[in-house]
Amino acid sequence: MKIDADGYDLRTWFGRTKISHQQIEGFELSQFLHRKLIMVRLKKGKELEDDTERSIPLPCAFGRPIEEVLKLLEAHLNKAPKAKNSSKRS
């Protein structure tokens, strides 16, 4: 997983998921097959018409305790709106 100014970029065996900071409402723990799983809660917007697609699972904790990964994700979530570059430098 890579966290940068653009958002979160998760590469797994099954593909790649990119989520911008502005799309994320928050993170939560969920129980799946007797294991804890981190879920990314997305903000409702143009892309999300109904609530069925508002959560994306993060399938891996990268060998770390799940609570530690959750704290790291929450600490790096930038909820500030992305600045528009309206002025150009000469």
Tokens of 54: 């508002």
Per-residue pLDDT of 8-19, as tens digits, reads 888 777 788 888
Per-residue pLDDT of 33-88, as tens digits, reads 888 888 888 887 655 555 556 788 877 767 788 888 888 888 888 766 565 554 44
Domain count, the chain: 1
> Would 15 be classed as within a structural domain?
no
> Would 87 be classed as within a structural domain?
no
Say if residues 44 and 51 touch (Cβ distance below 8 Å): yes
Higher pLDDT, residue 59 or 27:
27
**2-7 contacts: CB < 8 A, separation 24 or more?**
3/73, 3/76, 5/78
What are the beta bridge partners of residue 36?
A: 31
> Would 6 be classed as within a structural domain?
no
> Would 18 be classed as within a structural domain?
no
**Residue 38's CB: how many other CB atoms inside 10 A?**
19
pLDDT at residue 86, as a whole number: 47
**Residue 11's CB: how many other CB atoms inside 10 A?**
11
pLDDT at residue 87, as a whole number: 47
